[in-house]
Structure 1
C-alpha cells in the first residue's frame, strides 16, 4: 500500500500536562527523533517560493560600440561560424557589411577577452577565423588544437616579418594583405565544408528506436497545414536576415511538388535541415516537418512511377575526423544511419574526387562510401528534379536510411573506402530492436518516444519533446493534450519541481474534464496523482477532494481492485489524521483495513501498519485501552514476520510501554520498555541513540515505581 508524504506532528494535545514521550511510528525509519518524539513520516522539504526568483548571469563588461553588438547574436541553425578578430571597426566597415551579408553566422570582435569567452562555448560548430596580425601568435597558440577549428586567415600589413613559425600550423590558409582576398578564399572553403558532410550515426538499440519513432512523428503523424509553413518562414526570417529575398521567394512560390528542387538548391532550407539532424534538434525538425514530409512523399511518389533495377551501386564522398574513422573500423557489421536526405552518385570518380578534396583539411580523412542498394528502399534520380543541371547521375534517398558496415580498406593516402549494404525494414535484427515499442499500437509515436526517453532516463529530451509539441499547436485532440500535460507533470515530479508539476497536472485535469465523464476510468490516475501532489504541498482540501474523486471511480470500476481502494482510503485517512478530525480518520483507516483484508491474509505486515495507525489515533484521544488493543494486534503480526531483533519491534514495544504507563500499569510498561531496550541493543549496538532513548525511558519508569526486577530473564544492567 502506498503512503502519503505528510508533515509530522506531536501526538500530545496542547493541554496535556505530562512530559512522557509520545508514541513513535515505525514507518520508513531506522531511528527515532530525539528531542520530542513524533510520528515519523516522509516529509518533503517545503518549497520556499521566495527563493525561486531567477538569478541573472553576470554580464561581461561591454566596451564595444553599438554597431559591434549587432553581430553578437549566436547562430541557431548554422553549422559553421566565421569570426573576425580585428583592431578597428570603422576602418573595415564596408568589408564587415559584406561578410555580414554573405555569411549568416558571422561574429565580430575587437576585444580579445570577449573573443576567447565566445570561443570556449563553441561545442559543435566549425570555426573559420580571420585574425589581425597583432593577435595571430597569441590566439593560434591557445586554440589551435580545437577540433572545430577548420581554417585561419591572417590579415597583415607587413608587420609579420618573421613568418617561419606559421609553417607548423597547417590550418593557416595564408597571410593576406587585404580582406577581399580572404573573402574569396573563405567563401570557397566554407562551401566545401558545408556541402559535403552529412551527419552519420553508428546505431545501437536505443538510437534505432528513437530514429524509428521520430521518423514516424515527422513524416506521418503530425498534421501539418498552411500555418506550419508560415511559422517556419517567420522563424527563418529571424535566423537569416541576409537571405530575405530567397525566403520571400519560398513563401510566394513554394508548392509540395517542387520540394526536391528547393532542397537541392542548397539555400537556407538545406542548411537548416542539416543543422537540425546533426544536433537532433527536435524543435527545429518539427518546425520544418512539413517540408521534410513533402520531400519524402515526392521521393516515394516518383519512385512508384518508374521501373527500378533490382540492384545497383551508388557512391558518396565526404570527409570525416580520424576518431570517426576508428569508430567505423571498430563497428564492422554494425548499423549506421545517414541522418538526413542521402545524396549519392552513380559515378565513382565524382564521389572519389569529393573524398580527395576533403583531405585539403588536415583534420579530415576522405571517405568513399560504396553502397549496394536494391528495390526494397525507395530512391529517386535527381535528373530533371534538381535545382542544378547535369544531375542525371545523382540519387537521393529519404531520411534515416540504414546500412550495415561491410569491408573497410585504404585506397589512397588519407582516403578510405567503406562498403555499405542497405538494410530494409524486413531485417530481423531491426524488428527485434523495435519489438518493445510496437506492442501498443493505440499509442501515438510521440507518446511512445516520450515514454522511451523517460524509460532510458533522458528526462530533458522527453520534456523537450512534450513542450515543443504543446507550443507548436500540432496536437489538437483533447485526450492527447491531457496525456502531454500529464507526462510533463510526471517529469517535473521526477525532477522534484512540484510547482511546475502541479501546474501541468491542473491543465491535464482541465483538458480531461472537457472531454470525459467524471467517473471515466481514464481519469483515475489523474485524480490520484493530483491528490499526492496537493498533499505534498500541504494543500489538504484539494488533496482530499481529488482522492475522493479517484475513490469514486475505483468503487464503480467494472473490476474491483481492493488494494487500490484500500490505498485511497488510507490516503484520505492520513489527511483527516493531520487535520485532527479523528473520527473520520479512524473510519477511513478501518475502510482501508477492510479492503486490504479482502486481498491479503489477516497476518500481513501492511495490516499491522494500519493497526498501528488506528492505535496512534486512540492514543491521541486518550482512549488507551483501545490504543493497546490495536498495538497488540500489530505486534502479533510483526513477531510472525519480522526477525526477533528487528528495530520495528523495538519501536512497537516502546509505544506499548507508553500506553501502559498512561494506564498506570507500570509493571507491564517496564516489561515492554525493557524489550525495546534489548531488541534495539541487538539491532544497533549499545551506543546507538535509540538504545539510549529507550534506556532513559526505562530508568524513568523504574524511578517512578521502584521496580528493579526485569521479567522474562532479560538482561538489563
Structure 2
C-alpha cells in the first residue's frame, strides 16, 4: 500500500520489490513486475492531477474495486392506455443524457486478439531463429516474440482471461516456468521446441497442455493451424431452421446482396472501424484501403485478416448493423463466387467435407430435428480432402465441451460455388471450396464414426428453383408479409413476431447507412419506430417518432389525407398518456375532421 499525504491524498512513498508482489515474491520477475506496477501508479498520479489522484488512491485501497461504469438510460415505466393503431425511420434516436465518471483513467493498450487467439514464442536467441520468427509472422496475424523472461511475464499476465494463447517455449525455458504457466487459463496449448529431442520426455506427461517436443517450427505451425482453424470453426454458426428463421434469413440475404446501395463511404466506415478494433493490422488495413477491388474479394477473405473476422463475428452475433456495415464486401464476395462459377461450370465435384467442433446441445438438436432445413449462416468454407476434415474433427477430443463433426455434403449440379485454387491468398488451396452465404441443406444421415466423433451427411438445397416442398411452403408465406421491399418486409415481420429490438436495430441501421432518401421511406420508418417504442413502453420516444413521421408525411400528403388518420390518432393517444390534453385534443380534432370528410353524406 502507498503511504499518502493526509491533506492531498497524494501518495508520498510507493513500495516496490519482490516482497511486495502478491504472487511472485522471492523471484526476479516478481521484483520486475512490482516496479512496473508502481511506475504506472506514478505516471497516473503526476499526469492526471488531484481529482484523479484521489479517485485512484481510493480505487487502489479497495480490495475488490469495481469497473468505472457509465449510467445508461432505462426503459420508461409501463402505462396502461388504448392501443396504438399500427399502420403500415431512421432518424437519430432521442438522446438521453448519460452520466459520466468523474475521471477517465489512461490505459496501457493491451494486445488485440483476432478471434481471441495469439501465438507467443519465448525464444532463447533472436539471431539464431530469425528465419523461423519471420515464418511465424507471415503465418499468423497475432504473433509476439520474447527473449526476456520478465518481459514475457509482464505481457502474458496482462492478457485477458477470455483470450487464448498458443505458447511456444524454447527448451531452455520450459522446465523453469511450466509449473506456473501451465495453470493459466489463457494458455490453451504449449509447444516445446528443441534442436534435439530429449531421450527422456517423461517429465512433460504431468502437463496435459503440452502438445509435445518439436524440432522445427513448420510442424508446430501445422498443429497450430489445425487448432486455430478448429477454434474459428467452433463459432461458425449453424442452425436448424423453422419457417420463421427461413423467412428472416431469406430477407436479410435480399437486403445485403440486392437492395442496399453501397458507395465509397461504406468502405471508409469499415476501414475506420477496423483501425479501432484491429490496431495490430494497420498495415493490412492501409493496403485494403488503397488496393481493394471487388474482383479481389475472395483473395482478401481467404487472407483471414480483419475483414474475415468482422464478417464471421457479425454472422455469429446476428448483428444486423455490422452485417450492413460490411455488406459491400459480402456482396462483392457473393458476386465473385457466382461469376467465377459461371465461367467454370464444368466442375465434376460432387462431394465436399467440413470438419469442426459443435456443442453437445447443438448435436442433440441436429439429431432430434433431422427433418428440418439446416444452414451455416455464413460463407461456407469446405474441402474435398476428407482426411484433413476428419483430422480437424478429431482434434476436438482435447476440448471437453465439444463433439467432433465431419460434415459430408452432396452438391447438386446447379449449386454455385468456387474452387479457391486460383483465387485464394494462400497457395495451397487446391482442395478448398467456398459457398456463398445462407446455403441450405437437408440432413440425410447421422452416425457416430468414432467415440465422440460424428458424421453428418447433408444434401445441398438450391433455394432459387428448389423442388423442396417444405422450403416452397416457407417462402410462400412471404406473400402475406406487408411491404414493397425486403427491408420493409423484414421490419414488419420482426414486429409481427414480437422481436421489437431486432426491428428497431434494422430501422436505425438503415437510417445510419443513409440509404433512405425519400420522404415516403423516412415517414414509414419513423412511424414504425413510433410503434416499436410504444410496444416497448417508451411512450416519450414513441410520441417523438410519430411526430417526425407526420412531418415527413406532410411533405407529400395534404393535412386531411385519409392516410394520416392513424398518425393523428396515435399522437393524440400518446399526448393523453402524458397528460398533455391541449395537444391531444388538437390531434384528435385532425383525426375527426378526416373521419367526417370521408363519411358519406345523408
1:101-112 equivalences in 2 (<5 Å): 103=142
The Cα shift of 1:299 comes to: 1.5
Q: Deviations over 1:402-444 (max 9, x none)?
A: 1111211222344321100112222221222233332357432
The Cα shift of 1:337 comes to: 0.6
Structure 1 Cα separation of the partners of residues 440 and 487 of structure 2: 21
- The answer to whether the 8 A contact 2:377-2:437 is kept is yes
The Cα shift of 1:500 comes to: 1.4
The one of 191, 203, 210 equivalent to 2:241 is 203
What SS is found at the alignment partner of 1:546?
Answer: helix
The one of 469, 473, 483 equivalent to 2:514 is 473
Unaligned runs of 5+ in 1: 1-40, 45-51, 85-94, 156-163, 563-594, 599-717
TM-score (structure 2 length as normaliser): 0.67
What SS is found at the alignment partner of 2:344?
Answer: coil
1:633-644 equivalences in 2 (<5 Å): none
Question: Could you say which residue in structure 2 is the equivalent of 1:666?
Answer: none
- The answer to whether the 8 A contact 1:311-1:375 is kept is no
1:225-374 equivalences in 2 (<5 Å): 225-308=263-346, 312-374=350-412
1:526-541 equivalences in 2 (<5 Å): 526-541=567-582
The Cα shift of 1:470 comes to: 1.5
Q: Deviations over 1:280-309 (max 9, x none)?
A: 111111110001011111122222233346
Q: Does 1:495 align with 2:536?
A: yes
Structure 1 Cα separation of the partners of residues 260 and 447 of structure 2: 42
The Cα shift of 1:109 comes to: 11
The Cα shift of 1:327 comes to: 2.5
* Alignment CA distance shift 1:57-1:491 (3 Å): farther
Question: Could you say which residue in structure 1 is the equivalent of 2:454?
Answer: 416
The Cα shift of 1:256 comes to: 1.1
The one of 229, 234, 244 equivalent to 1:192 is 229
Structure 1 Cα separation of the partners of residues 561 and 477 of structure 2: 28
- The answer to whether the 8 A contact 2:395-2:404 is kept is yes
TM-score (structure 1 length as normaliser): 0.57
Question: Could you say which residue in structure 1 is the equivalent of 2:497?
Answer: 456
Structure 2 Cα separation of the partners of residues 260 and 413 of structure 1: 36
* Alignment CA distance shift 1:388-1:279 (3 Å): same
Question: Could you say which residue in structure 2 is the equivalent of 1:79?
Answer: 115
- The answer to whether the 8 A contact 1:133-1:154 is kept is no
Q: How many pairs are equivalent?
A: 466
The Cα shift of 1:112 comes to: 13
The Cα shift of 1:468 comes to: 1.5
Question: Could you say which residue in structure 2 is the equivalent of 1:663?
Answer: none
Unaligned runs of 5+ in 2: 1-78, 83-95, 121-132, 145-151, 168-176, 193-201
* Alignment CA distance shift 1:114-1:496 (3 Å): farther
Question: Could you say which residue in structure 1 is the equivalent of 2:479?
Answer: 438
The structure whose RCO (Cα within 8 Å, separation 6+) is larger is 2
The Cα shift of 1:511 comes to: 1.8
Question: Could you say which residue in structure 2 is the equivalent of 1:610?
Answer: none
Question: Could you say which residue in structure 2 is the equivalent of 1:151?
Answer: 188
Question: Could you say which residue in structure 2 is the equivalent of 1:511?
Answer: 552
Structure 2 Cα separation of the partners of residues 42 and 418 of structure 1: 51
- The answer to whether the 8 A contact 1:80-1:194 is kept is no
* Alignment CA distance shift 1:173-1:323 (3 Å): farther
CA radius of gyration, larger in = 1
- The answer to whether the 8 A contact 1:372-1:420 is kept is yes
* Alignment CA distance shift 1:521-1:433 (3 Å): same
